[in-house]
Amino acid sequence: MKKLILYVVLIFVFVGCSAHIDTSVNNSVNLAQKDESIATTQSKVEKVEQENEDKVIISDISNWRHPTKEVLDENGLKVIRIELTKEKTYPTFILEPFSDYYLVDSDFLNMFAEKNGYWDFKITDGSKFIEVFCDKANKIIYKTVSNLKTFDINSIDFSDFNGIWYDASFAHIAGFYSKMTIAAERNSNRVDIKLESSTDKTGKALINTNIPFNYAKEAKLSNVDTIGNKIDAKISMYDKSTISFDFLESTAIKDYKKVFTVGFGRFIRENDYLGLQKSMQILEEKYGFDDKHKGFYIPKTDDYSVYFVFEDKTDDGRYRIAVRRCKDTVICAWYIVNPNTEEVEIEN
């Protein structure tokens, strides 16, 4: 009996000690977790404080001087303040409320990026924003992220535009043409471009170049053709069937010497160009039109002479051509031509 009582007492002592040990272990674990949590919180606070220390705020906008201010002023955008982070290399422009237009207007963003030295930047009014990422070496924007949409150059396959393109303005002009040959590799935004053009005085004008395209499938071309004309232009790949070539400046246009004819319209693929040529020929033969279009200019007349303008291509492969008066450029009618069947539909 005494032995039994002794065993029971020993069991109670053992259980009590075990409970104490477990409680001590749990308390130790909780204290360790608590210390870790406190350390994490302190780290976050230090990080925030560090970020605040790195941030430079410019609020005196009236005395603020920077090339980007001119772009903002020209577009009627009002700056509240600018916050500089990342060792003063990343500006966030906080503006008064502005239109969504500025989130997608590539001309505005490209000019702003240029004036900002192609450093990354952000523009916001508190409710909407756009983050712009630049390639300083090639002087282009390669990505934009906004509350509307993300545009990323890595999602574009520029080789989709490979091939031969012709300026539609010259489709119905004997002896004149503007030709663009494009060659691009997959996963590269650098594109080989060859421009070949007839001129009004001297044979052919040629430009061979390799230029980088940006997030909006646009590129600036600055070159001198084989005749000696300096050409500054913007090339835009709108879709897989249309490319535009817009002159920014040209000595050929300025001096009217040895006119370089590339770029006075939009470029279409070679097969579409051949179909357009045939469609315009059908209009002349069927309706007796005398197309006065000269490709790089519209003749002004006092009579009711007409010229052809290619509008677009319908989903079923027909060509919509506007017949306009030279006198006032008023559209007489649209002619929708099937070059294969020679059928014509007229829209007034």
Q: What is the domain-level CATH number for residue 187?
A: 2.40.128
Residues linked to residue 208 through DSSP beta bridges, in sequence order:
194
What SS3 state is found at 39?
Answer: helix
For residue 29, pLDDT beyond 60? no
Asked if residue 319 has pLDDT above 60, the reply is: yes
Judge if 202 and 247 occupy the same domain.
Answer: yes
Q: What are the pLDDT digits (tens) for 88-100?
A: 999 999 999 999 9
Give yes or no: residues 265 and 280 share one domain: no
246-262, pLDDT tens digit by residue? 877 666 555 545 555 55
Domain-embedded: residue 254: yes
- The model's pLDDT over 183-207, given as tens digits with 9 standing for 90+, comes to 999 989 999 999 998 865 557 888 9
Phi and psi torsions of 74, nearest 5°: -65, -30
CA 226 to chain CA mean position, Å: 30
Domain shared by 206 and 219, yes or no: yes
The answer to the question of residue 12 being in a domain is no
Structural domain contains residue 144: yes
Q: Which helix (H) or strand (E) holds 330?
A: none
Measured in Å, how far apart are the chain's first and last C-alpha atoms?
120
CB contact set of 119 (below 8 Å; sequence gap of 6+) = 89, 90, 91, 134, 136
- DSSP codes joined into one string, 138-203: TTEEEEEEESS-EEEGGG--GGGG-EEEEEGGGTT-TT--EEEEEEE-TT--EEEEEEEEEBSSSS
Q: What is the pLDDT of residue 251?
A: 62
Same domain flag for 171 and 123: no
- Residue 7's pLDDT is 44
Predicted confidence (pLDDT) per residue in 267-314, tens digit:
999 999 999 999 999 999 999 998 888 766 677 788 889 999 999 999
Res. 126 pLDDT band, cuts 50 70 90: very high
What percent of the chain stands above pLDDT 70? 78
Q: Return all residues near 25 (Cβ < 8 A) that are at least 6 apart.
A: none
Tokens read off for 135: 């390639």
Number of domains in the chain: 3
32 within some domain: no
How many angstroms separate the CA atoms of 129 and 179, rounded?
40
> Where among 153, 184, 214 does a domain terminate?
153
Sign of the alpha-carbon dihedral angle for 125, 126, 127, 128: positive
Angle at Cα 219 formed by Cα 215 and Cα 225, nearest 5°? 170
Identify the helix (H) or strand (E) that includes residue 112: helix 106-115
In a shared domain, residues 187 and 251: yes
Q: Cβ(158)–Cβ(184) under 8 Å?
A: yes
pLDDT at 149: 94
Q: Which of 5-14, 158-167, 274-283, 325-334 has the lowest mean pLDDT?
A: 5-14
Residue 25 domain-assigned (yes or no): no
Domain hosting 284: range is: 272-347
Strand-strand pairing, 129-135 and 140-146? antiparallel
Asked which of 118, 153, 188 is the last residue of a domain, the reply is 153
- Residues 266, 204: one domain? yes
What pLDDT score was predicted for residue 2?
A: 40
Q: Per the domain annotation, does 188 fall within a domain?
A: yes
- Are both 66 and 136 inside the same structural domain? yes
Please tell me the number of Cα atoms within 13 Å of 30 on its side-chain side: 6
Write down which residue in 270, 296, 325 finishes a domain: 270
| Within-domain flag for 16 | no
Q: Is the pLDDT score of 15 beyond 60?
A: no
User: Do residues 149 and 171 share a domain?
Assistant: no
Banded model confidence at residue 169, pLDDT cuts 50, 70, 90:
confident
Residues 6+ apart with CB under 8 A from 105: none
| Residues 143 and 97 grouped into a single domain | yes
> Same domain, yes or no, for 80 and 172?
no
Same domain, 143 and 164: no
pLDDT (mean) for 64-93: 96
What is the pLDDT, as a whole number, of residue 34? 40
> What pLDDT sits at residue 23?
43
- 13 belongs to a structural domain: no
Q: Is the pLDDT of residue 28 over 60?
A: no
Rounded to the nearest integer, the mean pLDDT of the chain is 83
Same domain, 179 and 251: yes
Taking the complete model, does pTM exceed 0.85, yes or no? no
